[in-house]
Structure 1
Amino acid sequence: MRKRKTAYAAVALITGLLPIGVLGSPAAAAQPQSEFRILPYLQSPSSSGVTLTWFTEDGRPGRLTVLGPGIGRPRTYEVAGDLRPELAYTDRELAQEIPGLDKGSWLRGQENHKHTIRIDDLRPGSRYHYTVEQGGVPHRGTFRTAPAKNHWKHIRLIAMSDSETEPLGRLQRREWAPGALATGSTGRPSAAPGSLWDRTYGTTTLLSSPVLRYPLTEDEGLRVNLATVEERAPDAVLFTGDLVQGGGYQPGWDEFFRHTAGASGSLLTNIPILPAFGNWESFGALNGGYGTPQDRTPVVRSRAKYHAYFDAPDNGTPEHRDNYYRVDYGPVTVLTLDSNNGEPDDRAAAYPPSVKLTGRQYTGPGTDTQENFTRAEYEAAGGRDLSAFNPGSRQWTWAEEQLRAARAAGQIVLVQFHHAPYSSGEHGLPMNHALTSGQGGTPMRIYHDLFERYGVAAVLSGHSEMFERSFVDADGDGVGVHYYDVGVSGDGLRGVRRDGSTLDSPPLNYNGFSQWTADQSEPEMWENAGGTPQLTSGGKHYGHLEIDIDRGKRGQAQLTLTPVHIFPVLDADLRVVRTERRTYSDRTVIGVAADGTPDKQ
């Protein structure tokens, strides 16, 4: 039976350093883990099976046992470990010091052995139990196969992005961009040096103005977010990129799996992940960033780590494996695209000041989502896996083929990729705009006509670290596509882009398709408690998008997309006493016809 929680159900009590038993997964905390570098995690679900992967440090074969419908006697597999040298720590990582943490306390063993197996020939819509035993230490989990297309009642997916894990996240509280204030609100607490908030959580400067730091660290925010997701028992979790704070930074990957298949949580032990490549997955962080035009090996090494951890379904182009892929979960098709390599390559410096756009001027989406490296530079460093997304590319052709096939099969179609095409945030402007970040998502707008033509219900992205919904109906027939930025997993808490250089400047409103943002549409209500302002509702917080698909009559269905946030409840001394799962007001319901196409909105 799926767990159901009220919108204001308390999910965690926060005290001190948030013990694992409180905010982590109780199941993970209770499981022996000494023989596992990464606990078993699930990928590539289908109606007949799933892929199971885990990592060890010594590489000894593990024993997998699977029990469930149609199996009869337990199936047992011996799964050998494959050494993945690309996941070893670099000298810089071994020597790194992080003020506030004991040196090297976040490091594991130097060797990473990958154990992976496809479990197939299973029954649709069925629950299976498994045990992985390594060196006499067992770890138990469960999984459910996807339902048959015509035999299902309810499916729940979770979409989230921009967790950007790193050891520093255990200490770091991000700047909390101020949003709209509710009528009658007293306003935020003082962000002045020495104020109560400054003494408790710290403050910083944003656009030359003092702002509050968020009351949860990145680590705490992600932990509570994932624990809340796990309580909702979804069928799969879509991570739309920027999983780690640098794909080439091994401690970042250690942190990601510590949260999702390790000491702090085991969500992915029982729920499959569908990941997408983000821009941070190409970044070397401590190990050279994006490198230089003469040497892009940091980018090559970064992307190699992503490929080592994830094994997506085949897309017909071996060198593009894992970049883009299709998963059918019963009546739902999820297409994952790679938005990281637009061609022709472009950069902001190619546009002299005299031709740069200003304000809300727009002359087209542009061709490239990043100015950090070119295909030629990447391939000169030995990389062979870049997949352009523009018309005529292999990915574009593949995407159109999959959309056409999914529509012919009557599927409900969702698409995910990292760079949000329609965004009111930091990365919402094209390369030729004076305020561009050099990583704008507008080039991905070229897919909209395909999405609308083939009846895509929603597109899920991140990147701008917004919580935003846009709606685009190019032909004006009332049937369009909902676009989400769900970049609020556990890292930045940005607000809308301003039309000026200060926080007092009005929103730029560059994204004319925006329907809702957490920071502007959910005003903060602060009320005095003993002379201290306390937040009682509203505001932008860490969270995720919950997607419920319910079967109706005569083959029809209904999608309900609910933006969820993790609300920190403060006492009169501004201390966090608990967190609550709350839902924002922008609950979107999409009717779906028997052929899988969305109804008029």
Structure 2
Amino acid sequence: MTLSRLSRPLACAAVTGALLLTTLTPTADARDGGFRVNPYLQNPTTTSMTVTWFSYDDAPGELVLDGPGHRGTRLVSDPEPQPVLAYTELERQQEIPGLEQGSWLHEDGNVKHVVRLTGLEPGSTYTYRVTQDGATVGAELSTAPGRRDWEHIRFMAMSDSETEPLGRVQRREWAPGLGAEDRPAATPGGEWDQTFGTTTLSGTRVLRYPLTEDDGYRRNLAVLHAQDPDFVLYPGDLVQGGGYQPGWDEFFRHNAGEVGSGLSSTPVLPALGNWESFGALNGGYGTPEDRSAVVRSRAKYHAYFDSPANGTPAHADNYYRLDYGPVTVITLDPNNGEPDAVPADTPASEKATGREYRGPGTDTQSNFTRAEYEAAGGTDLSDLNPGSTQYTWAERQLQSARRQGQVVVVQFHHSAYSSGEHGLPMYHADTSGQGGTPMRQYHPLFERYGVSAVISGHSEMFERSFVDEDGDGVGVHYYDVGVAGDGLRGERHDGPTLEAPLLRYNEFRRWTADQDEREVWAEVDGVRQLVSGGKHYGHLQVDLTRVSRGRAKAELVLTPVHSFPVLDADRRVVRTERRTYADVVTLELDARGRVLR
């Protein structure tokens, strides 16, 4: 058994008797019962919290809670076996170069346990321990403050972790950005190539990033949790294939497992991304005749996450609202637009080119249709377009939150305004077939009801856009935070090569790490090293603070953060440092939660 502290410091004064608040996680070679996934937190409110964990066996687990109003409160779980999470034969037989075959697989057994803690006090800290099959995990949780009784709230947002076992050995292509001309040469057999590798991207030889996906994600999470956030937003693409069980194993290995267990103390608010509909080696998106791979993929997401009810049981977990004190987070599902659309709907002679924009379109993906999905037994798709159940629900929640004077933040996966790979609508000649422009249809609502920020991912880059349709100076800030631990892409070029000029399709773009954070290289101990700038794995930090400055009653600060790798003269990664990009946005809010001019 390995012994490790959870990320959040424990309030030792609240510990009674021999309560040991540590994490005991079976190692990869010795999993004998106990936890398959450590306890992780969901649905935080002022008086409640959901604690979920997974075991190998179907014996009930026990949770013991200590804190205000609770002294040794004991709750027993009701085990729920999850056959949809079983390995397929393809997964059992998979081989990954650089890893011992099957070394990443768990034992059989995937049993879900959910305990809803209620009767908690607002803005309070509790300790809890969960015992399952003789193993014990302990951690600390905190409830949300009241809407009026708060001083400071901090939350983080990251997307596109896209975890998979291959990430343990894979270094991604490091797309060249501003200042990349000063990089070491990407020569095959050269010094960088021998150490980290090089590869070809759009016909150009480029460097591979110094960190593997696995290491980059781990270090990014360490930076994130060191800042002690109140909750974390995950706007989609958590795993490299929702239908690929080892991808989920890797996600929880980092977030509630042997590598890290930050979600045992910090609640997670997830969202469905396009990868959550993809079966990976288990059939990808399937075929028009059989979309069961997509149904199975989305079913795995539903098995892991239980979000607040949205009034439509068929759409459970797809979209939801959660209030955390004065903050309202509205999560949307952008994965199904109707009528369904594909690039082939637009004849080649009629396709848009360059920066031509004819409207948002209706669909964000060309991988499957509702009819195909439902023919395979799926029942949970939710249309995104105006007039749909989801759109109508979203408008009601925005109206309600504004009446209550909340600070409103929205998250969904497909970035509505993107300079990257997925920024083009379905009718464009260069579309990826997964453009997020249909989500622009929500902007009039967001601006009307005073949404402070919209947080997405998808293009695997760091970007901020600002949209102010009515020209009053108070618009909405849109973020792509798709740099959790997978790709490190840049802005799209207007041509097939990296030598082509930038397309700049997104006219609302205000900042990207790719083109606004110049890479600065210098000779350090006789070796050319990156000393600042560039694209790196990171996340968005959001701080809400109560103030009293005239009409301003709160201040919202949005800070793009990255985990910067520091190398020595032998090109070994000696550490990573928390650094911030220059594009820090500060918004003043009035007593109604609206952004002031």
Same-fold status (TM-score > 0.5): yes
8 Å Cα contact 1:530-1:572 kept in structure 2: yes
In 1, Cα distance between equivalents of 2:432 and 2:83: 34
CA deviation after TM superposition for structure 1 residue 227, in Å: 0.9
Pairing partner for 1:275 from 270, 290, 293: 270
Post-superposition offset of 1:20: 11
Within-5 A mapping of 1:36-75: 36-71=35-70, 73-75=71-73
Distance in 2, Cα, partners of 1:452 & 1:137: 50
> What is the alpha-carbon distance in structure 2 between the residues aligned to residue 497 and residue 21 of structure 1?
42
Residue in structure 1 matched with residue 539 of structure 2 by the alignment = 544
In structure 2, the partner of 1:127 is: 125
Matching residue of 2:13: none
1 or 2 for the larger relative contact order (CA 8 Å, sep ≥6)?
A: 1
Q: Distance in 1 between matches of 2:427 and 2:199?
A: 31
SS in 2 for 1:230: helix
Tell me how far apart the structure 1 counterparts of residues 25 and 83 of structure 2 sit (CA, whole Å): 26
Per the alignment, residue 523 of structure 2 pairs with: 528
1:356 aligns with 351
For residue 352 of structure 1, report the CA deviation from its aligned partner.
1.2
Say which of 103, 106, 131 aligns to 1:105: 103
Q: Is the 8 A contact 2:53 2:112 kept in 1?
A: yes
What residue in structure 2 maps to residue 596 of structure 1?
A: 593
What one-letter code is carried by the residue in structure 1 that aligns with 2:184? P
Q: What corresponds to 1:573 in structure 2?
A: 570
Distance in structure 2 (CA, Å) of the matches to 1:410 and 1:521: 35
Measure the CA separation in 1 of the matches of 2:23 and 2:57.
Answer: 22
Q: CA deviation at 1:574?
A: 2.0
Structure 1 residue 507 corresponds to structure 2 residue 512? no
**Do the aligned partners of 1:474 and 1:480 also contact (CA within 8 Å) in 2?**
yes
Q: Any residues of structure 2 matched to 1:555-574 within 5 Å, and which? A: 556-574=553-571
- Scaled by the length of structure 1, what TM-score is found? 0.94
Q: 1:472 to 1:287 in 2, by over 3 A?
A: same
In structure 2, the partner of 1:475 is 470
Counterparts of 2:498 and 2:525 in 1: how far apart (Å)?
Answer: 28
- How far apart in 1 are the matches of 2:527 and 2:35? 47
Does the 8 A contact of 1:23 with 1:224 survive in 2? no
The DSSP-based 3-state class of the residue aligned with 2:435 is coil
**Conservation of the 8 A alpha-carbon contact between 2:157 and 2:232:** yes
CA distance 1:519–1:555, change in 2 (3 Å): closer
Equivalent AA in structure 1 for residue 352 of structure 2: L
Helix, strand or coil: the match of 2:564? strand
Describe the superposition over 1:514-573 as per-residue Cα deviations: whole angstroms up to 9, x where unpaired.
000001000000112355310000000000000000011277111000000000011222
For the 8 Å contact 2:170–2:212, the answer to whether it is kept is yes
1:491 corresponds in structure 2 to 486
Q: Which amino acid aligns with 2:372?
A: E
Q: Is residue 380 of structure 1 aligned with residue 375 of structure 2?
A: yes
Q: Shift of residue 31 of structure 1?
A: 2.5
> What residue number does 1:324 align with?
319
C-alpha change, 1:112 and 1:542, in structure 2 (3 Å) is same
Distance 1:524 1:306 in 2: 38
Q: Report the alpha carbon displacement of residue 575 of structure 1 after superposing the two structures with TM.
A: 1.8
User: Residue type matched to 1:153 in 2?
Assistant: E
Larger mean Cα displacement after TM superposition, 109-118 or 376-385: 109-118
2:219 corresponds to 1:221: no
Report the counterpart of residue 414 of structure 2 in structure 1: 419
Contact preservation (8 Å) 1:25, 1:265: no
Cα distance in structure 1, aligned partners of 2:525 and 2:595: 51
Counterpart of 1:582? 579
> CA distance change for structure 1 residues 26 and 88 in 2, over 3 Å: closer, same or farther?
farther
In structure 2, the residue matched to 1:211 is 206
- 1:115-162 CA-partner distances (Å, limit 9, x unpaired): 001111111110011010112221101110110000000000000000
Give the partner amino acid of 1:289: G
Q: CA deviation at 1:80?
A: 2.6
Q: Deviations over 1:34-67 (max 9, x none)?
A: 5100000000111111100000001111111001
| Map of 1:31 onto structure 2 | 24
User: Which whole-Å deviations, capped at 9, do the CAs of 1:474-532 have from their partners, x for residues lacking one?
Assistant: 00000100000000000000000001222122211000000000010000001123553
Deviations 1:243-279 (A, max 9, x none): 0000000000000000000000001000000000000
- 1:132-531 matches, within 5 Å, as 132-181=130-179, 187-531=182-526
- Cα RMSD of the aligned pairs, angstroms, is 1.8
The aligned counterpart of 2:89 is 91
Aligned-partner Cα distance in 1 for 2:8–2:457: 25
Please give the alpha-carbon distance, in whole angstroms, between the structure 1 residues aligned to 2:435 and 2:463: 16
Q: 1:93 to 1:29 in 2, by over 3 A?
A: farther
DSSP 3-state at the match of 2:185: coil
Partner Cα distance (1:190, 1:574) in 2 = 14
1:369 CA displacement: 0.2
When normalised by structure 2's length, the TM-score is 0.95
Measure the CA separation in 2 of the matches of 1:363 and 1:417: 23
Where 1:502 maps in the other structure, the secondary structure is coil
CA drift of 1:24 comes to 9.4
SS of equivalent to 1:536: strand
Instruction: Give, as a single letter, the amino acid of the residue that structure 2 aligns with 1:166.
Output: E
Q: Which letter maps to 1:292?
A: T
CA positional deviation for 1:207: 1.1
Closer/same/farther in 2, CA of residues 56 and 20 from structure 1, 3 Å limit? closer
Whether the 8 Å CA contact 1:460–1:484 is kept in 2: the answer is yes
AA of the residue aligned to 1:581: R
CA contact (8 A) 2:414 2:456 kept: yes
CA displacement 1:5-52 (0-9 Å, x = unmatched): xxxxxxxxxxxxxx9989999999953445100000000111111100
How many matched pairs? 578
SS in 1 for 2:557: strand
Q: Residues 67-96 of structure 1: CA distance to partner in whole angstroms, max 9, x if unpaired? A: 11122x321011131100000000111111
The SS at the match of 1:469 is: strand
Deviations 1:273-319 (A, max 9, x none): 00000000000001000000000000000000000000000000001
Greater shift, 32-41 or 278-287, is seen at 32-41
* Aligned residues with identical type, % of pairs: 64
Structure 1 pair 372/420, CA: closer, same or farther in 2 (3 Å)? same
Q: Tell me the distance in 2 between the aligned counterparts of 1:126 and 1:523.
A: 43
Q: 1:473 and 1:47, CA in 2 relative to 1: closer, same or farther beyond 3 A?
A: same
Letter in 2 for 1:31: L
Separation (CA, whole Å) in 1 of partners of 2:203 and 2:522: 26
Match of 1:11 in 2: none
**SS in structure 2 of the partner of residue 92 of structure 1:** helix
- Where does structure 1 lack aligned partners over 5 or more consecutive residues? 1-18
Q: Match of 1:438, as an amino acid? A: G
Inter-CA distance 313–22: structure 2 relative to 1 (3 Å threshold): closer
CA contact (8 A) 2:384 2:391 kept: yes
